[in-house]
């Protein structure tokens, strides 16, 4: 008997893998590539808990499986070490973020190393390393120097646009922009440097814009839309307010359509695709010009329901709209001002919670271009400035928000759909036949009518009419906003930008990276003064092309450098490209490496990044694709979202006002308070009473009311967190059971994509399985018991059943079922007393992705050359599974009554005949008539009787 000494085995192979560079990977033209990637972690101070490695284990198994299939597998790892989480931790612990970040990285690495991953650590990237963020800055400069050509549908050099402006002004320009501009070449040439710079910002993909931002005073920075949840910050849950600020932005919106189209080309879950589709929010509609009565002013509204133009009874402007000032009449001014003050006083959160109808009449009237009718123009906060044109036509009969507004202000409601009852609520559905369009006897431009059409036909007809008659145009709107790209924080990539007389200029490419300067005080400020303002060495000497002391700023050759830093998503947007060629000093990624690795074949990470990282990354990659740097338009071909591992908390029940604790089964007899107890002193819900007394001083004198001499704890599934005392540390599991057991158990818990609670109790099963597997290989004297005996038919059947199952399951990330199949196979082979070296060798090859340490040890014991990582994946052969007979259930009237053997090749007719002849069948046939018989080979026989 040789004991399964997992500590010795795992330590041995960890060292050998490092020494032999087993997981080092190079481009190899002779082999097909496969790129597996995990979302890299931000190293938090708490270290890893047992939930973090779940995705890494899943992808590691897949990577090893692909390698054994002969692929050249890239499976790198790194750290997302810039950004808010790292900085918040530093602030909380009062240490410099650089120090804590490096400590945390070391801790992560130590923990990761114990789990047996096949990462190629030579390719590690850290977003806070200058050699890495060099290329983040570089990409930013490329975006600054590009615009998005809407005719070509791709990014182009800004110089081309400038050339066009020099020659023809804005004529013939197809560029994504913040607002439509129109000027001539002469006007362009007449502009000052400042004005030109300002004008180009309207087109650049990375641009400085004066926009409404989510300002979080507590965090002291602005936040992107996806970093704000329910009106509070995602990090820390602090209030967020809307504020107009000058910020760097990325014109992500220019890529809306490509981001949408790309979703059809990648293998992601429906739910994530759906989330992204909603976030991009494409809506097809029309923009219509509205003339204001007794004025030259015109404004534009956006609608997706062009068919309802005959039902317009008022117009509404967003309070933030620039039109508000122009359209407010003298008589209404006081009331409008009062309303605007009220709107400004409300925070984003108040607006979300309190949806009571508010608004004010502007004093002006808009003219419905089709009916010629005058309708009042209101100002109301239910219309958003950021979407569409910030102005709408209101059709209360067919829009619930307009309906509520009309009821509140007593405005007319005109139904436009036959049979629609609008006395109580609006009819919003897009189904039905149009009427009242126009109403009998009412005028309509050129006799235009929609009556009798279905709504869908009416929408199309109106769009056509509107564009043909110059009333407006067909327009597609997207909800996707440009990303706000600057943060008033210290711990992030500095912008490679300086300001010459207020004009932003790029620090020359060959001077990159611009390194983050050291500062004493890195704390953010509520007023929004960036911490980089504290950096002394932070000015750009244009003549000498270097960073100098800011005391030298003279606005002639020495200028101030940008004080903002980049947001967390900057560094994580293109890191997968850097892994391909991590040490390249000349480029983000070399041509050869980029050509070879292409893009990520399998990406594993949490679904919480659906509207953040996964959108930004796709955008960033599309931009780099336009530049020719990235070779595939989509960065992540297949995406697997691992579920969250929740905690399983334990409770003890203290009788109120005492120090006596009562066991779960008896607690209802007392008035008790549940108290969280550390899950590490509870086994199978039984409390270790002595450990509990030692846990906290106040429990030292605790008394217990037991049942069956045991204290049974209650339990609940909660988030895994320190405060619930339900955190389980992977180091502890590795120490007690070994890394192979941890890997197996994490996968055995359930489907990778599903969230499930961690319960250490079940781990014994996986550990026992590994022990059994180990024992299969050794006799009682500790000698290998694999010899050259011919495998029996049973051996081969067990083996090939397993090969088939495991091969198929890994491909579908159904690891829990493959491990079950493994358990069955090992039990069978043990019962068969299998000795065959051939079978044993293949079993080890199959085991390798799951339990690599043990597999290596057995592979070596079997006398095999090299690492088991390169063991060929066993080929499945159907012939070993062919059965001469098969056992099937025989049904009467759809209910299974008994089981019997059938020849595997029996025809349905033969099966029915055999089933009817069986003695067990007789009692079911007695006095009954056969109505119908059904037989499906290898499935079922069913006899219907009456």
353 contacts RNA (rule: CB under 7 A):
no
270 contacts RNA (rule: CB under 7 A):
yes
866 contacts RNA (rule: CB under 7 A):
no
83 contacts RNA (rule: CB under 7 A):
no
Q: Identify the CA nearest to 69 among candidates 33, 38, 36.
A: 33
939 contacts RNA (rule: CB under 7 A):
yes
* Nearer residue to RNA within complex by CB, 91 or 280: 280
Residue 849's SS3 state is coil
Rounded distance, CA 944 to CA 259, Å? 56
Q: In this chain, which stretch among 290-298, 380-388, 537-545, 785-793 interacts with RNA, using CB under 7 A?
A: 380-388
For the chain, the residue count is 946
The correct pick among 508, 665, 894, 908 for binding RNA (CB under 7 A) is: 894
899 contacts RNA (rule: CB under 7 A):
yes
* Nearer residue to RNA within complex by CB, 54 or 383: 383
Residue 135's SS3 state is helix
* Nearer residue to RNA within complex by CB, 477 or 729: 477
| Interface of this chain with RNA, residues 795 to 814, rule: CB under 7 A | 814
Q: In this chain, which stretch among 36-44, 210-218, 385-393, 464-472 interacts with RNA, using CB under 7 A?
A: 385-393
756 contacts RNA (rule: CB under 7 A):
yes
The correct pick among 83, 647, 757, 849 for binding RNA (CB under 7 A) is: 757
Angle at 928 between CA 927 and CA 933, to 5 degrees: 150
The correct pick among 266, 434, 662, 766 for binding RNA (CB under 7 A) is: 766
| 321, 352, 394, 744, 820 from 316: Cα distances, Å | 10, 19, 7, 61, 63
932 contacts RNA (rule: CB under 7 A):
yes
Q: In this chain, which stretch among 87-95, 550-558, 620-628, 764-772 interacts with RNA, using CB under 7 A?
A: 764-772
| 191, 198, 204, 505, 561 from 188: Cα distances, Å | 5, 12, 16, 20, 28
The correct pick among 211, 449, 820, 864 for binding RNA (CB under 7 A) is: 820
| Interface of this chain with RNA, residues 291 to 320, rule: CB under 7 A | 302-305, 318
Pairs from 876-881 (Cβ < 8 Å, separation ≥ 24): 876/800, 876/803, 876/804, 876/807, 877/800, 878/800, 880/793, 880/796, 880/797, 880/799, 880/800, 881/797, 881/800, 881/801, 881/804
- Token pair 């990577």 is at which residue? 63
Distance in Å, CB of 919 to RNA, minimum: 12
Residue 137's SS3 state is helix
783 contacts RNA (rule: CB under 7 A):
no
918 contacts RNA (rule: CB under 7 A):
no
- Token pair 């499906």 is at which residue? 936
Rounded distance, CA 28 to CA 597, Å? 10
Site string for RNA, 666-695 (x = CB under 7 A): ------------------x-x---------
| Interface of this chain with RNA, residues 465 to 504, rule: CB under 7 A | 477, 479
| Interface of this chain with RNA, residues 84 to 113, rule: CB under 7 A | none
Q: Which residues contact 110 (CB under 8 A, 6 or more apart)?
A: none
Q: Which residues contact 479 (CB under 8 A, 6 or more apart)?
A: 278, 279, 280, 281, 282, 283, 387
521 contacts RNA (rule: CB under 7 A):
no
H, E, C per residue of 540-584:
EECCCCEEECHHHCCCCCEEEECCCECCHHHHHCCHHHHHCCCCC
749 contacts RNA (rule: CB under 7 A):
yes
The correct pick among 283, 332, 598, 637 for binding RNA (CB under 7 A) is: 283
H, E, C per residue of 29-86:
CCCCEEEEEECCCCCCCCCCCCCCHHHHHHHHHHHHHHHHCCCEEECCCCECCCCHHH
* Nearer residue to RNA within complex by CB, 590 or 903: 903
772 contacts RNA (rule: CB under 7 A):
yes
* Nearer residue to RNA within complex by CB, 95 or 242: 242
Query: Element (H or E) spanning 108, and its range?
Result: helix 97-113
* Nearer residue to RNA within complex by CB, 325 or 936: 936
Distance in Å, CB of 735 to RNA, minimum: 16
Tell me how far apart the terminal alpha carbons of the chain are, to the nearest angstrom. 63
424 contacts RNA (rule: CB under 7 A):
no
738 contacts RNA (rule: CB under 7 A):
no
* Beta carbons of 871 and 848 less than 8 angstroms apart: yes
Q: Identify the CA nearest to 622 among candidates 637, 610, 633, 614.
A: 633
| Interface of this chain with RNA, residues 606 to 635, rule: CB under 7 A | 607-608, 610-611
| 124, 392, 583, 717, 734 from 494: Cα distances, Å | 22, 41, 21, 42, 40
278 contacts RNA (rule: CB under 7 A):
yes
279 contacts RNA (rule: CB under 7 A):
yes
Q: In this chain, which stretch among 109-117, 153-161, 838-846, 929-937 interacts with RNA, using CB under 7 A?
A: 929-937
* Beta carbons of 158 and 147 less than 8 angstroms apart: yes
The correct pick among 10, 124, 226, 601 for binding RNA (CB under 7 A) is: 226
542 contacts RNA (rule: CB under 7 A):
no
Distance in Å, CB of 902 to RNA, minimum: 10
215 contacts RNA (rule: CB under 7 A):
no
Q: In this chain, which stretch among 88-96, 585-593, 870-878, 881-889 interacts with RNA, using CB under 7 A?
A: 881-889
| 174, 709, 889 from 181: Cα distances, Å | 11, 82, 76
* Nearer residue to RNA within complex by CB, 278 or 907: 278
């Amino acid at each position: 008997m040789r004991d399964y000494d997992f500590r010795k085995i795992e330590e041995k192979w960890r060292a050998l893998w490092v020494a032999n560079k087993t997981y080092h990977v190079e481009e190899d033209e002779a082999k097909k590539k496969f790129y597996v990637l995990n979302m890299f972690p931000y190293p938090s101070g708490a270290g890893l808990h047992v939930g973090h490695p779940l995705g890494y284990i899943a992808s590691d198994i897949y990577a090893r499986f692909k390698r054994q299939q002969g692929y050249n597998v890239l499976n790198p790892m790194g750290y997302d070490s810039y950004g808010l989480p790292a900085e918040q931790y530093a602030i909380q612990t009062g240490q410099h973020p650089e120090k804590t970040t490096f400590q945390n990285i070391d801790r992560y690495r130590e923990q990761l190393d114990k789990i047996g991953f096949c990462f190629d650590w030579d390719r590690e990237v850290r977003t806070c390393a200058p050699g890495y963020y060099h290329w983040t800055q570089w990409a930013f400069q490329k975006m600054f120097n590009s615009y998005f050509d809407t005719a070509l549908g791709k990014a182009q050099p800004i110089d081309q646009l400038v050339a066009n402006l020099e020659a023809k002004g804005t004529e013939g320009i197809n560029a994504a922009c913040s607002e439509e501009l129109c000027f001539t070449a002469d006007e362009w040439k007449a502009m000052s440097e400042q004005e030109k710079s300002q004008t180009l910002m309207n087109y650049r993909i990375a641009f400085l814009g004066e926009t409404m931002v989510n300002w979080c005073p507590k965090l002291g920075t602005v936040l992107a839309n996806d970093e704000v949840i329910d009106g509070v910050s995602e990090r820390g849950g602090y209030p967020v307010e809307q504020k107009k600020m000058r910020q760097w932005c990325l014109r992500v919106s220019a890529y809306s359509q490509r981001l949408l189209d790309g979703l059809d080309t990648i293998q992601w879950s429906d739910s994530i695709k759906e989330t992204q589709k909603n976030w991009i929010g494409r809506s097809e509609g029309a923009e219509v010009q509205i003339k204001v009565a007794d004025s030259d002013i015109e404004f534009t509204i956006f609608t997706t329901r062009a068919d309802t133009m005959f039902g317009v009874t008022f117009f509404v402007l967003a309070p933030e709209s620039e039109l508000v000032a122009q359209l407010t009449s003298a008589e209404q001014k006081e009331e409008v001002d009062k309303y605007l003050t009220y709107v400004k006083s409300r925070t984003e959160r108040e607006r979300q919670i309190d949806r009571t109808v508010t608004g004010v009449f502007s004093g002006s009237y808009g003219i419905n271009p089709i009916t010629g009718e005058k309708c009042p123009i209101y100002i109301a906060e239910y219309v958003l400035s950021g979407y569409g044109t910030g102005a709408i036509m209101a059709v209360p009969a067919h829009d619930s928000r307009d309906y509520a507004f009309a009821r509140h202000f007593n405005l007319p409601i005109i139904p436009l759909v036959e049979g629609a009852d609008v006395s109580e609520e609006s009819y919003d559905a897009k189904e039905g036949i149009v009427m009242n369009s126009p109403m009998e006897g009412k005028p309509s431009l050129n006799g235009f009518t929609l009556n009798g059409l279905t709504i869908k036909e009416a929408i199309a007809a109106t769009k056509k009419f509107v564009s043909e008659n110059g009333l407006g145009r067909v327009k597609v709107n997207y909800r996707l906003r440009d990303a706000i790209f600057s943060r008033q924080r210290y711990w992030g990539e500095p912008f490679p930008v300086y300001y010459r007389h207020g004009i932003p200029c790029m620090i020359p490419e060959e001077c990159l990276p611009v390194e983050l300067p050291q500062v004493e005080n890195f704390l953010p400020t509520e007023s929004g003064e960036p911490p980089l303002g504290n950096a002394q060495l932070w000015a750009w000497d244009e003549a000498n092309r270097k960073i100098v002391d800011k005391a030298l700023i003279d606005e002639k050759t020495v200028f101030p450098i940008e004080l903002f830093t980049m947001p967390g998503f900057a560094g994580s947007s293109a890191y997968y490209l850097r892994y391909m060629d991590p040490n390249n000093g000349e480029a983000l990624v070399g041509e050869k490496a980029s050509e070879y690795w292409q893009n990520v074949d399998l990406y594993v990470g949490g679904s919480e990044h659906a509207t953040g990282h996964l959108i930004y990354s796709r955008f960033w990659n599309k931009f780099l694709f336009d530049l020719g740097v990235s070779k595939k338009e989509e960065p992540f071909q297949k995406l697997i979202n691992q579920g969250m591992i929740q905690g399983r908390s334990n409770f003890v029940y203290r009788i109120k006002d005492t120090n006596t604790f009562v066991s779960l089964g008896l607690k209802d007899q007392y008035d008790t308070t549940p108290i969280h107890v550390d899950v590490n002193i509870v086994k199978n819900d039984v409390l270790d009473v002595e450990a509990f007394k030692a846990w906290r001083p106040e429990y030292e004198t605790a008394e217990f009311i037991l049942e069956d001499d045991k204290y049974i704890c209650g339990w609940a599934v909660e988030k895994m967190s320190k405060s619930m005392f339900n955190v389980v540390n992977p180091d502890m599991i590795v120490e007690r059971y070994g890394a192979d057991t941890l890997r197996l158990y994490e996968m055995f818990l359930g489907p990778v994509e599903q969230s499930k609670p961690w319960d250490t109790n079940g781990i014994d099963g996986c550990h026992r399985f590994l022990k059994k597997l180990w024992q299969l290989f050794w006799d009682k004297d500790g000698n290998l018991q694999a010899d050259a005996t011919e495998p029996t038919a049973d051996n081969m059947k067990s083996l090939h059943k397993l090969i088939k199952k495991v091969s198929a399951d890994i491909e579908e990330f159904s690891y829990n079922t493959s491990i079950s199949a493994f358990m069955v196979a090992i039990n069978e082979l043990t019962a068969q007393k299998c000795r065959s070296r051939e079978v044993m060798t293949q079993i080890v090859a199959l085991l390798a992705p799951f339990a690599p340490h043990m597999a290596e040890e057995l592979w070596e014991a079997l006398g095999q050359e090299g690492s088991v990582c390169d063991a060929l994946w066993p080929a499945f052969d159907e012939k070993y599974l062919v059965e001469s007979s098969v056992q099937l259930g025989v049904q009467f009237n759809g209910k299974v009554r008994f089981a019997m053997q059938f020849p595997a090749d029996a025809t349905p007719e033969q099966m029915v005949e055999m089933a009817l002849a069986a003695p067990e069948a007789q009692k079911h046939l007695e006095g009954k008539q056969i109505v119908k018989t059904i037989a499906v080979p290898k499935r079922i026989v069913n006899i219907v009787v009456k």
